[in-house]
Structures are given as C-alpha cells and as structure tokens.
Amino acid sequence: VLKNMTDGVIATDRKGRIILINDPALQLLQLERNETLNRPIISVLGLDQDYDFEDLIHMKDSVNLNFSTHDTPYVLRANFSVIQKESGFVNGLITVLHDITEQEKIEMERREFVANVSHELRTPLTTMRSYLDALADGAWKDENIAPTFLNVTQTETERMIRLVNDLLQLSKMDSQDHQFNKEVVEFNRFFERIIDRFEMSKSQNVEFIRLLPEQTYFVEIDTDKLTQVIDNIISNAMKYSPDGGYIRFGFTVQDTFLKVMISDDGMGIPKENLTRIFDRFYRVDRARARSMGGTGLGLAIAKEMIQAHGGQIWAESEEGQGTTIFFTLPYELEDEVGEWD
C-alpha cells in the first residue's frame, strides 16, 4: 500500500528516528533511503532550526517545507499524526508529504496580481489627488495653470478607465464566459485593412513595408478580438519605433498555420525579458512605458486571445536593433471554406 501511494509516508520510532520511508517520500525529498533511515526526522525534513521532535508530536496543523530556490519554486506540505497507546505513551510519528508547489505558485501569482492592480491604480490616483489639491488651494483661479492641471487629471482618469476595461476583459477570459463570434475571413484582406488604418492615421515618421503573399488564405476568427490583438502589436511597434524607422508586416505558411509577423526597428527587448512581456503588468522599463500611457496588459490579453484561437504568440528581439512579434493562427483549407459559403 505504502509503495503504491502517490503521497510520501514516513514513520519514526518514539525518539523521532526514521524507521520506514516509502519511495514517493524519497522522491519528494530527493534523498536516497540510506540518507534517511535511522536519522532524526526533524533534520531530514529540514525543520531542525525551528522545531524539535516534541513540537511535531503536538503539531495540530500541517507544516510547509519550502525547498524553493531563486528561480524554481518547490514546496511540500507535511501532515503529522502520532501513534499513541491508550495509556498516552507515544510509539512514533507518521508523516504524510504532498507536493503543493502548483497551489503555492497560483497563490503567489494571485497575491502578486492584487499587489500590481493596487499599485497601478494608486499611481494615477495619487497624481490626481495632488493636482486636485492644488486646484482646490487656489490654482483654479489661475487661467494659465488650471487648464493644464485639469488636463492631467483627465489623462489619468482615461488611463484608469483603460486599465479597468483591460482588467475586466482579462477576468472575462479567465472565467471562460466570453463568447467568440467566429467567422471565416480572408486573412490577407483583413490584415491589410488594419495596416491601412494605421498608415492613414499615423502622425509619426515611420514607414510601413508589407510583405504579404499573393495567394489568399482563410482563417476562422473573431474579427473584433483579432483586430484588438493586431492593434496592440502595431501600437507597440509604433510607440517604440525611432524617427524614420520601418515597420514590416508579413505572414508565411507553416504546416496548417499562418505565421504572422510584425517587426520594428525600435529599442528592442533584452533577451531575458522576451517571454515575460506577455505577463500581466510586465513592462521592460516601468517608468517609461507608463509615461507612454500603456497599461502593461495589452500583450497579456493578446496572448489569451491568440491561444483561444488555437495559436501561439512570441517575440524575438535584438537589443537596440528592433523587435518582431510573431503569432500563429490555424488556417482553413479552401475546399473546406467552400462548404461554409
């Protein structure tokens, strides 16, 4: 029974020395049997700094054993029960170990998320408070200053609204109650229209280069959602583009997927941050990105949406040279599209 359990089980004698340990417990503790037998359980579990064996006998709650290193979390939970005779004489201790790393990770992410949201909302609120205080203290009478101050509070309000809308969208996707309105569209035309819109309205000196194939391809997508994803990627590319830079748009076909790319000549992203830019609230340069009005949620939303379409999204970048964002979408074979029409 002990051998085939997934939980780790350890039994000790009345002095707290290990007399039995099953294989899962050895695996969880990453130890060999001869490193554990006859040794005090308190030191095998790494608890000797905080407890003695007597404490474990009276322990009502479980204890978390944290073996995490700087970059890999690893946490076990230990539950203890005493083997006791009716007379009260303690015969030994049974310890059951579970791996709770995943739970801990989720819990940590949740705490971090709440801290991030609070911080992101506090920043614009503090700014607004100081400007409103100044206005209330008499600045409202100054025709030169008052409009500027009001403008700041308006910008900050807009930013908070954007942030809350982004958060609502993420929470909707998390709860899976979002509906996709998928339709089959010609990807070439769909992509071109978005690029056109940016090209018409751009005020910056950046040039657009289109590297789109002649052949048309069809995808089944929620056009509103995909538009939002591409808008976000292009806005970032424009935001970080230098004056006179180029933004290239293209897609190629790989197996059953279209691989879309949007690349810029901007400042780039350091290698170690390339995957993190898709995390919620992650920004490479916090102060700078925030001053550009970003919420830090755009690419996190893009990732959720692309994954919900069965694709993947990632970034490649050379610092100082530029960034390319890639994403894939499964495409429809044309004879299948025929059936849709």
Least distance to ligand ADP, CB of residue 28, Å: 37
C-beta of 260 vs 297, nearer to ligand ADP: 297
Q: Which residues pair with 220 in a beta bridge?
A: 184
Asked if residues 264 and 270 have their Cβ atoms less than 8 Å apart, the reply is no
> What is the rounded distance in angstroms from the CA atom of residue 133 to the CA atom of residue 130?
5
Structure tokens at 114: 């709440």
Q: What is the C-alpha radius of gyration for the chain, rounded to an integer number of angstroms? A: 29
> What is the rounded distance in angstroms from the CA atom of residue 114 to the CA atom of residue 281?
11
C-beta of 125 vs 292, nearer to ligand ADP: 292
Long-range contacts of 76-85 (CB under 8 A, 24+ apart): 76/8, 76/28, 76/29, 76/100, 78/45, 80/56, 82/57, 83/11
Least distance to ligand ADP, CB of residue 167, Å: 13
Least distance to ligand ADP, CB of residue 82, Å: 52
Centre a 10 Å sphere on the Cβ of residue 221 and count the other Cβ atoms it contains: 26
Quick one: which of 333, 332, 328, 330 has its CA closest to 259? 328
Using CB under 6 A, list all residues that contact ligand ADP. Answer: 232, 236-237, 240, 264, 266-267, 269, 277, 282-285, 289, 294-300, 323
> What is the rounded distance in angstroms from the CA atom of residue 225 to the CA atom of residue 305?
7
Least distance to ligand ADP, CB of residue 191, Å: 18
C-beta of 283 vs 309, nearer to ligand ADP: 283
Asked if residues 242 and 264 have their Cβ atoms less than 8 Å apart, the reply is no
C-beta of 45 vs 267, nearer to ligand ADP: 267
> What is the rounded distance in angstroms from the CA atom of residue 306 to the CA atom of residue 311?
5
Q: By beta-carbon distance, which residue lies closest to ligand ADP?
A: 294
C-beta of 104 vs 304, nearer to ligand ADP: 304
C-beta of 225 vs 283, nearer to ligand ADP: 283
Least distance to ligand ADP, CB of residue 254, Å: 22
Asked if residues 273 and 319 have their Cβ atoms less than 8 Å apart, the reply is no
Least distance to ligand ADP, CB of residue 333, Å: 33
C-beta of 266 vs 311, nearer to ligand ADP: 266
Least distance to ligand ADP, CB of residue 235, Å: 7
